Amino acid sequence: MSLLSDLLNLNLSDTTEKVIAEYIWIGGSGMDLRSKARTLNGPVSDPSKLPKWNYDGSSTNQAPGEDSEVILYPQAIFKDPFRRGNNILVMCDAYTPAGEPIPTNKRHAAAKIFSHPDVLAEEPWYGIEQEYTLLQRDVKWPIGWPLGGYPGPQGPYYCGIGGDKAFGRDVVDSHYKACLYAGVNISGINGEVMPGQWEFQVGPAVGISAGDELWVARYILERITEIAGIVLSFDPKPIHGDWNGAGAHTNYSTKSMRSDGGYEVIKKAIEKLGLKHKEHIAAYGEGNERRLTGRHETADINTFLWRVANRGASIRVGRDTEKAGKGYFEDRRPASNMDPYVVTSMIAETTIIWKP
């Protein structure tokens, strides 16, 4: 095993200029990340300089068997925390050989929204709070929970410490450091209300980069759970009953909101989000109705409510924002399994482009 570890940790730059690029894309379910690696002749820092690549879309439920070729377009580059050195992770989106985005390519439409002149002028910032649950591999039950049973009730686990309260911190901290190494703008982590559930935050990130960074952070986390022999779940309500669900609260601001007088801009933006509540809910993740019940720090899925400092609201405005008269707000509706390309671009489109 020591030889295997030595080989895995070989520093290629000692003997060759060649580097390994791990191409990452989103599979047919919209949540299954896929990746494969190729050798490059030397270091590359600009995604436009990377070659396009193809894969078998019939094996990812993204193309028929008789015409299965799907083309990967490199979009963003990150340092590879697993291979290290000059090796890279490449976030891609997927197209037909004719150059049309395939139906599951949500990045393409998001990039169009983020390139709109009105959106560019407003420089939308995002901070996404990604909650997730760590499961025992063979039984799909949260780590730290007794097999077939339940731990003590919620209360001591949120930001808790100790062997009977915090389960999986080695995975969480490994992920934190790996994201920082990769160049993901991860801004923090914490234990969540349900034991075995954690959260990391990505941001502030501008425009389309919020989606790129969150997907790569998810990829890194799933690779780490693979190494640790546990399973990563983004189910918005992994355990039924009196247990918190998992969301992806999305913090948002525009240049106008961050400027003097921004509180009025925030209120107008929230009003527009309320008018499109049903459309947003439909795009905010599968199974969200199991989470948005009006309990466990959520608003009911059929109700749109905004409040200051209220975690039972659809939209929460912070006390600091209210006091300063400018700042940001938090959309608490997105589920943990939401697509960040869809959610971030939809918020921008509704609050900046759409004229009711």
| Contact of 306 with 316, CB cutoff 8 Å | yes
CA distance 297 to 292: 9
Residue 142 is classified by DSSP as B
Domain 4-104 has CATH 2.60.120.260: no
| Contact of 140 with 225, CB cutoff 8 Å | no
| Contact of 145 with 212, CB cutoff 8 Å | no
* Residue ranges of domains in the chain: 4-104, 117-353
Domain 117-353 has CATH 3.20.20.80: no
Please say if the pLDDT value at position 1 is more than 70.
no
Q: Compute the Cα dihedral for 72, 74, 78, 83 and give only its sign.
A: positive
DSSP-based three-state secondary structure for 1: coil
CA distance 60 to 301: 31
Instruction: Identify the H or E element spanning 23.
Output: strand 19-26
For the segment 142-199, what is each residue's pLDDT rounded down to a tens digit?
Answer: 999 999 899 999 999 999 999 999 999 999 999 999 999 999 999 999 999 999 999 9
What does pLDDT average to over the chain?
A: 96
Output the CA–CA distances (angstroms, integers) from residue 68 to 63, 108, 178, 321, in the order listed.
Answer: 5, 20, 34, 50
Exposed/middle/buried for residue 109 (C-beta within 10 Å: 0-12, 13-18, 19+):
middle
Q: Compute the Cα dihedral for 251, 257, 263, 266 and give only its sign.
A: negative
- Mark 170-179 as b/e (b = at least 16 C-beta within 10 Å): ebbebbbebb
Output the CA–CA distances (angstroms, integers) from residue 172 to 41, 151, 155, in the order listed.
Answer: 34, 20, 20
Backbone angles phi, psi at 4, to 5 degrees: -60, -45
Task: Flag whether the pTM goes above 0.75.
Answer: yes
Give mean pLDDT, residues 111-131. 98
Q: What is the pLDDT of residue 144?
A: 96
| Contact of 301 with 312, CB cutoff 8 Å | no
Give mean pLDDT, residues 19-48. 97
Residues β-bridged to residue 188: 201
Give mean pLDDT, residues 33-47. 97
CA distance 41 to 138: 41
